[in-house]
């Protein structure tokens, strides 16, 4: 600070000693401006230090939270949301402060994406104003899918099924989730979602089509033995369903292309 003051004020003192230089009043105005600039610089520096400290605290909190994420994804989602709200918004006018806050927001976005991708933390994707009633929640989920926000839509339909298991649309919510996984190339996850559908909805009319889809996904993975088994099961248990004949023919074709 002393060096900066010397560089700023030194030339002014020399100028005052020389002929034709600024008046005392002008010099006082310049000195006041220099001091104001130094004060602004000190405030910006303090603000940056505060932001860095907040970011360090945020990172430490996320490290502690990661250990319990698999047990309580919903709780972690709430804690991350609280941390997001705690991050100060840019209020200064300087480029330095604005850049610092943008960096914090980008860092939070990367952390959120990491948690969702690695741990399937769908709670982080739920909108804060998600309706609790079945109709409102369903409309919100459909809206997210139409807007191309498939991950948020999948999260909403997962909550819908858990919150309204007796609703006739509950099985459709599970089917939507499975197809979102399949469409994203997550075939194993799609099969996992499909695998419980008969147990959860034993009398649902959508079951034959769902079982058919399981066989198709096994074929996609190259597991033709499992695919044949699923098609045979479908053709026998749901023999009156439109999918039964298609499953029987597909099983016969696989006997030729996949004899083992």
pLDDT averaged over every residue in the chain: 77
Number of domains in the chain: 3
Mean pLDDT of 214-221: 95
Contact call for residues 209 and 243 (beta carbons, < 8 A): yes
At residue 6, does pLDDT exceed 50?
no
Based on the fold, state whether residues 174 and 232 are members of the same structural domain: no
Question: What residue numbers bound the domain in which 235 lies?
Answer: 205-260
**When comparing pLDDT for 56 and 139, which is higher?**
139
Based on the fold, state whether residues 119 and 136 are members of the same structural domain: no
In a domain, 36, yes or no: no
Based on the fold, state whether residues 109 and 131 are members of the same structural domain: no
Contact call for residues 125 and 152 (beta carbons, < 8 A): yes
Q: Helix axis angle, 73-86 relative to 95-119, nearest 10°?
A: 180
Nearest of 256, 260, 236, 259 to residue 247 by alpha carbon: 236
| pLDDT tens-place string over residues 84-132 | 665 555 455 556 666 666 665 555 545 544 444 444 556 666 888 899 9
The C-alpha atoms of residue 226 and residue 54 are separated, in whole angstroms, by 53
Phi, psi at 196, each rounded to 5°: -100, 5
Based on the fold, state whether residues 175 and 218 are members of the same structural domain: no
In a domain, 10, yes or no: no
Picking from 24-28, 146-150, 250-254, which range would have the lowest pLDDT averaged per residue? 24-28
Alpha-helical segments (H) within 71-149 = 73-86, 95-119, 134-146
Residue 195 Cα distances to 37, 106, 158, 163, 217, angstroms: 67, 38, 15, 20, 12
Output the pTM of the full model.
0.55
- Provide the pLDDT confidence category of residue 47 given band limits of 50, 70 and 90: confident
| pLDDT tens-place string over residues 145-188 | 999 999 899 999 999 999 999 999 999 999 999 999 999 999 99
In a domain, 148, yes or no: yes
What pLDDT score was predicted for residue 252? 92
């Amino acid at each position: 600070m002393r060096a900066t003051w010397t560089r700023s004020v030194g030339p002014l003192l020399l100028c005052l000693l020389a002929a034709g230089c600024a008046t005392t009043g002008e010099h006082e105005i310049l000195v006041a401006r220099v001091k104001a600039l130094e004060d602004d610089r000190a405030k910006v520096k303090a603000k940056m230090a505060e932001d860095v400290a907040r970011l360090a605290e945020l990172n430490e909190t996320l490290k502690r939270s990661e250990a319990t994420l698999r047990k309580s994804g919903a709780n972690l989602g709430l804690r991350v949301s609280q941390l997001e709200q705690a991050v100060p918004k840019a209020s200064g006018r300087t480029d330095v402060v604005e850049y610092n806050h943008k960096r914090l927001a980008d860092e939070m976005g990367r952390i959120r994406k990491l948690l969702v991708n690695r741990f399937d933390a769908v709670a982080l994707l739920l909108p804060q104003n998600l309706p609790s009633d079945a109709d409102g929640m369903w409309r919100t989920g459909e809206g997210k899918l139409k807007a191309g926000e498939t991950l948020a839509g999948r999260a909403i339909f997962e909550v819908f099924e858990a919150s309204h298991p007796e609703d006739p649309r509950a099985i459709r919510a599970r089917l939507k989730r499975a197809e979102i996984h399949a469409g994203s190339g997550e075939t194993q996850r799609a099969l996992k979602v499909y695998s419980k559908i008969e147990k959860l909805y034993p009398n649902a009319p959508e079951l034959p089509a769902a079982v058919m889809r399981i066989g198709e996904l096994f074929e996609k993975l190259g597991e033709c033995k499992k695919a044949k088994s699923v098609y045979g099961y479908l053709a026998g248990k749901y023999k009156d369903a439109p999918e039964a004949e298609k499953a029987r023919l597909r099983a016969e074709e696989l006997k030729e292309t996949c004899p083992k």
